[in-house]
């Protein structure tokens, strides 16, 4: 069941990029399974005049999150590469707002709110409630949902529109998000 959204709602789709889907550089198991649900939420949001925000992990070719630079992850989502592109099945409206993150050369930015101006953008648009999906549930979705809640938004995690790197990570992330006041919703 999808509730009626209004202009006080916004949809945030985190890092629905080819590198996080099967066949990509840092694949989330079943990552592309988020697409049908994400597209349904996009239609709902667009119909309600609710902003649709898509974040992209957008790393410079050398980045501290990459193993070659001493970080925890394989090279992924390098700016301008095919793997960094949004998944081709995602149907964003023409007025979708793209947020690039992971661009800093000194540290990673898991959250779409980290140093991007997203919170003040949403406040200026009059948004109170934020519906969050995307990849990966236990990394950047988690960080974005927690930051959204800390910024005072009423955050809803779209469980059909997100997938995690690991089941353990998912369980831990869900516990943390619930603790922070995030509501989990299906559909």
Residue with tokens 């922070």: 180
Task: Tell whether residue 139 is a contact of ligand VGL (CB under 6 A).
Answer: yes
Measure the CA–CA gap between 103 and 144, rounded to whole angstroms: 16
Annotated catalytic residue 77: no
For the window 15-34, what string marks contact with ligand VGL as x by the rule CB under 6 A? x----x-----x--------
The answer to whether 77 touches 19, Cβ cutoff 8 Å, is: yes
Q: Residue 1 and residue 135: Cα distance in Å, rounded?
A: 22
Considering only the stretches 30-38, 41-49, 82-90, 99-107, report the one whose residues sit in contact with Zn ion under the rule CB under 5 A. Answer: 99-107
Active-site choice (77, 101, 108, 147): 101
Give yes or no for residue 146 binding ligand VGL (CB under 6 A). no
3-state secondary structure of 187: coil
Write out the residues near ligand VGL by the rule CB under 6 A.
15, 20, 26, 57, 65, 73, 135-136, 139-140
């Amino acid at each position: 069941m999808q509730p009626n959204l209004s202009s006080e709602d916004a949809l945030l789709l985190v890092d629905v990029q080819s590198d996080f889907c099967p066949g990509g550089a840092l694949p989330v198991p079943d990552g592309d399974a988020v697409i049908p649900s994400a597209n349904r939420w996009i239609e709902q949001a667009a119909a309600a005049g609710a902003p649709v925000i898509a974040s992209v992990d957008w790393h410079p070719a050398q980045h501290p999150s990459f193993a070659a630079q001493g970080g925890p992850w394989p090279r992924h989502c390098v700016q301008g590469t095919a793997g960094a592109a949004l998944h081709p099945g995602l149907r964003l409206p023409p007025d979708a707002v793209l947020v690039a993150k992971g661009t800093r050369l000194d540290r990673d930015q898991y959250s779409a709110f980290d140093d991007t101006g997203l919170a003040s953008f949403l406040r200026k648009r009059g948004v109170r409630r934020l519906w969050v999906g995307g990849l990966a549930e236990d990394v950047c979705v988690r960080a974005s949902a927690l930051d959204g809640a800390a910024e005072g938004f009423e955050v809803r995690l779209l469980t059909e529109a997100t997938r995690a790197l690991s089941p353990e990570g998912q369980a831990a992330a869900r516990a943390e998000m619930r603790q922070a006041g995030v509501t989990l919703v299906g559909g």
